[in-house]
Structure 1
């Protein structure tokens, strides 16, 4: 693509919407219903963020949503050029287009150009934020805030606190990540820390959940702990949505440091959160994020648990998906 064609493409994608985004009466959709098309790239973490935003929006306004899978960075283009990407089953148009993942950015821009709607991207885009109507970015990306950029504490997710009566008394949940290129994972060290935190409060009912990265060998070693001390729920043995329902029911949650997403899910669920230490290979945004959470009292190191047998309450409630949904409603949906 020549530089002139790239420039024309960029200008066309960033032009103000000239397409009417809401044609509700003609489509037979109630005037109070918000229509959302969301683009997914198949990555579970990205889908979790989209779910968090859509569920928060649905608590504010009636929502009608449609998923548009993007399996290849350019595979959608030939179909789009023929005018066949995508065809709404009822001929409707979206109020909002939500995209998460690098592969979804250009298709999202194309859709906005073709059918209208406000384009919202989650996570840091590979193209300038000014190309989108709104960017929702975790604070560790360190992008300057503007009217088009919302900075959130961590990644948004669909967790919600439950009523106090629904919390399991004297319960604890342990969430394990696994080896990654950013951390030095050690089976013996993780096993020792799990034993320590259980031994500090043996009367508590402990449940341990794994992730897709948790090594099978570690799960087998953990299974050798006395059954009355620990109930293991491997990710391969739990139904979809199990963690989303289970996590908010535990007042005390320990998470391995390698998984920022699980840390923020536990905080959003309203739990007291402790850390299982996993040494970082190098210092970067991940370690800075953990250090900030510890310094501000959102999470606590295992040493505090060993000393007191209790984790402190977090300094506040983390409800970033709700905050973003309210901004979207007030900015884009009030007139609709």
Structure 2
């Protein structure tokens, strides 16, 4: 173990997917070294600020005025004292990450796509695909998440005992909504409900269901209307403010279905080492980077992609083929990061 406790600032833009990646990085590091983590919440004031921030950072090398950063971000006060490491995920945090690292002299890790921001701004750039010419690029098979396999197993077993009554198996349906180039009409939500009904009847299972804020009121209304209540073991409706117990539901499930728009939910399901199936609506136009990431998961045997329109007509297309991702232990990821940062591990 590293004897010296490192002070870490985790930059949060409030988006659950980005926070999950950042916290996953911190969790991996914490497996091999002691950390003192403090969260710095921030929001970019306007989208156009990205161009100005990118230009300033790419065309300068020294520290930039700390007060100037607040022209671009609404942010809480920085923790007192210096930090050793800054961690963030999501494009809008990348500029603040680089800016604050220059100011403090701290090392920094960014997880995500650079979008024309130079890689030299970071000590480590963590991505799914190689960044050309970046020696500080750590390519990972899955971006880190807060999913912990031990907790998944323990919480899943508790949930199974709580739900047990008829001895049936449980499958999990995770629903996002409009975003990442995907659009959902009322017909798509009706398709999802019918698929759940038919697969439950065909395979003798019951469903665990979780919606998200992007599912929206209309989507939830359609699902409530068309899903047969006897095939639903538990539902977490976002519009009702219910908290989704991700690790418990993942642990209790034999199969996981995820709408293809949510890379965060897909990654968490794959990190839990469950067979994962993505559901694609009729209107699906992801950008090349997103599409390539999905194709890579398919090629690696981590993911099976399914069309809603095809599956609702032919439920036999689903044959319970099992796709299990290769898990990179947190301890190994933490050691890789420590090595990249130039720190020593005893």
Secondary structure class of the residue paired with 1:55: helix
Change (3 A) 1:322 1:284: farther
How far is 1:210 from its partner?
0.6
Provide, for residues 1-41 of structure 1, a one-character-per-residue CA deviation record: whole Å limited to 9, x for no partner: xxxxxxxxxxxxxxxxxxxxxxxxxxxxx943222112222
The range that moved more, 130-139 or 145-154, is 145-154
Equivalent residue in structure 2 for 1:229, among 219, 228, 231: 231
On the 8 A contact 1:258/1:278 being kept in 2, the answer is no
Deviation sequence 1:42-97 (CA, Å, 0-9, x none)? 3332212111111222222222111122334689942779xxx96644x3x32211
Aligned pair 1:133/2:142, yes or no?
no
| Partner in structure 2 of residue 334 of structure 1 | 344
- What is the aligned counterpart of 2:109 among 115, 120, 126? 120
8 Å CA contact retained: 1:80, 1:86: no
Contact 1:100–1:123, Cα closer than 8 Å, also in 2? yes
TM-score, scaled to structure 1: 0.75
Question: Secondary structure of the equivalent of 1:298?
Answer: coil
Report deviation, 1:261: 1.9
Cα drift, residue 318 of structure 1? 3.5
Residue 37 of structure 2 is aligned with which of 65, 80, 84?
A: 65
Alignment of 1:1-336 (within 5 A): 31-72=3-44, 77-78=66-67, 88-89=79-80, 91=81, 93-125=82-114, 126-139=116-129, 143-144=131-132, 146-161=134-149, 162-163=152-153, 166-167=156-157, 168=160, 170-180=169-179, 182-202=181-201, 203-224=204-225, 225-230=227-232, 231-237=234-240, 240=243, 242-279=245-282, 280-281=284-285, 284-302=288-306, 306-307=315-316, 310-319=319-328, 323-332=332-341, 333-334=343-344
| Whole-angstrom CA distance in 1 between matches of 2:331 and 2:288 | 28
**Native 8 Å contact 1:197 1:306 kept in 2:** no
Q: Note the C-alpha offset of 1:148.
A: 0.3
d(CA) in 1 for partners of 2:153, 2:108 = 35
Q: Which residue of 1 aligns with 2:56?
A: none
Q: Tell me the distance in 2 between the aligned counterparts of 1:282 and 1:100.
A: 20
Q: Matches of 1:316 and 1:282 in 2, distance apart?
A: 23
> Structure 2 CA distance, aligned partners of 1:228 and 1:255?
21
Q: 1:313 to 1:164 in 2, by over 3 A?
A: farther
Q: Secondary structure of 2:26's partner?
A: helix
Is the CA contact 2:236–2:244 (under 8 Å) kept in the aligned structure 1?
A: no
Change beyond 3 A, Cα 1:310–1:159: farther
